[in-house]
Amino acid sequence: MRANSLALRLFLSATAWAVFILLITGFVLSSLYRQSAERAFDRRLGVYLRTLVADVASPDEASEKFSQSLGEPLFELPLSGWYWQVTRLDPGKPDKRASRSLWDGGLPHLETFGVTASPDGSRQGYVPGPEDQKLRMVERNIDLGDEGHYLVAVAGDAAEISDETKSFDQALILTFSILAAVLLLTTMFQVRFGLAPLKRISDSLAAIRSGSAERLAGTFPEEIAPLARETNALIDANKEIVERARTHVGNLAHALKTPLSVMVNEAAARGSDPFALKVLEQADIMRDQVARHLERARLAARLTVVGSVTEVAPVVTALARTMEKIHRDKDLIIDVHADDKARFHGERPDLEEMIGNLVDNACKWASSRVTIEVGCERPDPASATQVVRLVVDDDGRGLSPSEREQVAKRGRRLDETKPGSGLGLSIVVELAALYGGSLTLGAAPTGGLRAELVLPAG
């Protein structure tokens, strides 16, 4: 799931960047093409402008000569969008000649729109024309000395520029859409297959954690191989540390056992001496505490190991047969109903200890029958986490709510006539808690005690 989430994030990120780059590139290309179309249009207008300037500078300035020199029929067609205009600027000598296409109208001056002249004295820009046309216009001032000052202007329909740019934009959008689709497919392919080794590592780690594998197996790409090697080395180092911890725990237990035995023997030799009795009492407490904390340390060391999985049904069945033999004098019937798919996420010795204590306690108090049920369920339907639920019922006298609270405490025994140290249920409670599970005591349908043990499933 995490590998898929990483692949999705990488794919979305790559897609977003690809779309962003394509949009910026398309905007830049469209702007450059429009500028190129405007320059080409201006060069065309410039040809007409130079022709008009040459005609203005010649002795014969007839309008007929202007039209003939330009050689463009659109200048003769009324309101065609193509116009020329020659205006004399000398004070007191107004004169204006224009193309027939202007009809009775005229062209505005670019200077009034704030357009500045270029180094050669010409100006170009957009102006409104007759019939609200948008025109691209080029104009230039001509100084002929005594013959006068003139403003020569040529304008063309800017729709040609817009149409060319629009056609280019449509082709650009189509091309970039195909390119974007190809890029997305390529990115999807690269992300899917490029991250496949990471998904394999993720699945392998999940298998190690669940106990179905011990190491990362298989061949990985050169870029991922160091990660796999270091992970395997970490697993090996973790196991080695746990083994050393177990060895130290065993050595500590052996080292404490001998001095305590000597103290107990010396105190027992003094008979009913109050001091000796006090030493025996405290030695028993010390033994109890040492056993308790060594057990917790042993289990804590186990839990640091990458998880193992234990099948529950075989353990329960074997313990039931053993308990029938141990309590054969009571002629007990032990019924087992176990789900073969139930698996405990932990080590077999700890499961045997917990179930053994519960079943042994039920056999001690049962009159004739003990029932054991094992199932695997999901407490939260919205979660994929499962638990193993183990229920042990007996048909004995049962316990009151206050008695149930007492028996789960370490060393508490309600009936001194029954064999045992009173540590069984408390050990189950502690072991279950260390695994993240719980033990609940209640009333069984058969009238006795119900012990319900919940443990993590593997």
> Do residues 290 and 319 both lie within one domain?
no
Query: Per the domain annotation, does 175 fall within a domain?
Result: no
pLDDT tens digits for 355-364?
888 998 889 8
Write out the residue range of the structural domain in which residue 281 sits. Answer: 225-303
- Which stretch of 208-217, 415-424, 446-455 has the lowest confidence by average pLDDT? 415-424
> Do residues 343 and 268 both lie within one domain?
no
Mean pLDDT score of the chain: 80
What are the counts of helices (DSSP H) followed by strands (DSSP E) for the chain? 10, 12
Q: Phi and psi dihedrals of 345, rounded to 5?
A: -85, 80
- d(C-alpha 451, C-alpha 444), whole Å: 8
| pLDDT for 458 beyond 60 | yes
Scanning the structure block, which residue is given the tokens 């599970």?
437
> Do residues 324 and 298 both lie within one domain?
no
> Do residues 431 and 316 both lie within one domain?
yes
User: Average pLDDT, stretch 212-231?
Assistant: 77
Quickly state the pLDDT bin for 407 (edges 50, 70, 90): low
Nearest 10 degrees: CA dihedral of 244, 248, 253, 259?
A: 160
End-to-end Cα distance, the chain: 18
Share of residues in the chain with pLDDT > 90 (%): 16
> Do residues 70 and 154 both lie within one domain?
yes
- Domain limit, last residue, from 303, 321, 351: 303
> Do residues 290 and 338 both lie within one domain?
no
Quickly state the pLDDT bin for 68 (edges 50, 70, 90): low
Q: Are 360 and 323 in contact (CB under 8 A)?
A: yes
Query: Per the domain annotation, does 210 fall within a domain?
Result: no
- d(C-alpha 348, C-alpha 316), whole Å: 11
Quickly state the pLDDT bin for 62 (edges 50, 70, 90): very low
- d(C-alpha 208, C-alpha 330), whole Å: 45
- d(C-alpha 406, C-alpha 399), whole Å: 10
Query: Per the domain annotation, does 316 fall within a domain?
Result: yes
pLDDT tens digits for 249-274?
767 766 777 777 778 787 787 777 78
Q: Are 311 and 421 in contact (CB under 8 A)?
A: no
Query: Of 285 and 1, which is predicted with more confidence?
Result: 285
In DSSP terms, 371 is beta-bridged to 335, 393
Quickly state the pLDDT bin for 28 (edges 50, 70, 90): very high
The reply to whether the predicted model has a pTM over 0.85 is no
Query: Per the domain annotation, does 124 fall within a domain?
Result: yes
pLDDT of residue 66: 54
| pLDDT for 331 beyond 50 | yes
Q: Which residues contact 375 (CB under 8 A, 6 or more apart)?
A: 339, 342, 388, 389
- Domain limit, last residue, from 268, 303, 338: 303
The structural domain count of the chain equals: 3
Nearest 10 degrees: CA dihedral of 185, 189, 192, 197?
A: -160
Query: Per the domain annotation, does 236 fall within a domain?
Result: yes
- Pairing outcome for strands 333-338 and 369-377: parallel
Tell me, what CATH number does 125's domain have? 3.30.450
- The alpha carbon of 118 is separated from its chain's Cα centroid by a whole number of angstroms, namely 58
pLDDT of residue 412: 45
- Which residue type is seen at 431? L
> Do residues 289 and 318 both lie within one domain?
no
pLDDT of residue 292: 64
**Which of 107, 130, 434 is closest to 297 using CA atoms?**
434
> Do residues 16 and 150 both lie within one domain?
yes
Query: Per the domain annotation, does 169 fall within a domain?
Result: no
Q: Are 323 and 284 in contact (CB under 8 A)?
A: no
- d(C-alpha 76, C-alpha 100), whole Å: 5
> Do residues 74 and 7 both lie within one domain?
yes
Instruction: Give the DSSP H/E element, type plus range, for residue 388.
Output: strand 387-394
User: 319: which 2 tokens?
Assistant: 């313990």
Query: Per the domain annotation, does 194 fall within a domain?
Result: no
pLDDT of residue 31: 93
- Domain limit, last residue, from 287, 303, 319: 303
